[in-house]
Amino acid sequence: MTAYDSLPGAVTEVFGEEATAEQAYDLLTVDVPAASWTTALETARDVLGCTYFDWLSAVDEPGTGFRVCAHVAAVGEGRPRRLLLRTTVPHSAPVLPTAIGVYAGAGWHERETHEMFGVDFTGHPHLVPLLLPENFEGHPLRKDFVLAARVAKAWPGAKEPGESHDGGPKRRQMLPPGVPDPNEWGPLKGQLPPAPARPARAAAGDRPPRRTRTTTEGSATQPTPETPPGTPPEPTPDATRPPRRTRSVTEGSASQSAPEEPAAEGTTARPPRRNRSVSEGSASQS
Give 95's strand partners: 120
Question: Containing domain of residue 88, as a range?
Answer: 11-151
279 part of a folded domain: no
Residue 13, CA distances (Å) to 8, 19, 88, 218 in order: 10, 9, 21, 93
Within the chain, what is the greatest distance between any pair of CA atoms? 155
Q: How far apart are CA 88 and CA 58, in angstroms?
A: 9
Closest to 106 measured CA to CA, from 162, 56, 67, 58: 56
Task: Count the domains in the chain.
Answer: 1
Predicted pLDDT at 92 = 94
pTM reported for the whole predicted model = 0.53
Asked whether the CA dihedral 33, 36, 37, 39 is positive or negative, the reply is negative
139 part of a folded domain: yes
How far the first Cα of the chain sits from its last, in Å, is 135
Question: Per-residue confidence of the chain (286 residues) as pLDDT tens digits?
Answer: 688 888 999 999 999 999 999 999 889 999 999 999 999 999 999 999 999 999 999 999 999 999 999 999 999 878 899 999 999 999 999 999 999 999 999 999 999 999 999 999 999 999 998 999 888 889 999 998 877 655 555 555 555 555 555 555 556 566 666 667 777 777 777 887 776 666 666 666 666 666 666 666 666 666 666 666 666 666 665 656 666 666 676 676 666 655 555 555 655 666 666 666 667 776 666 5
H-run or E-run covering 42: helix 37-46
List of residues 6+ apart from 54 with CB closer than 8 A = 71, 72, 73
HSE-CB of 214 using CA atoms within 13 angstroms: 2
For position 141, which CATH number holds?
3.30.460.80
198 part of a folded domain: no
75 part of a folded domain: yes
Burial of residue 9 (number of CB atoms within 10 Å: 0-12, 13-18, 19+): exposed
Q: How far apart are CA 105 and CA 54, in angstroms?
A: 8
191 part of a folded domain: no
Q: How far apart are CA 206 and CA 220, in angstroms?
A: 21
Under DSSP, the state recorded for 240 is T
133 part of a folded domain: yes
Predicted pLDDT at 160 = 57
Predicted pLDDT at 257 = 57
Predicted pLDDT at 76 = 81
Pairing mode, if any, of strands 52-61 and 27-31?
unpaired
Residue 82: strand, helix, or coil: strand
Q: Summarize pLDDT for 116-147 with one digit per residue, the tens.
A: 999 999 999 999 989 998 888 899 999 988 77
H-run or E-run covering 188: none
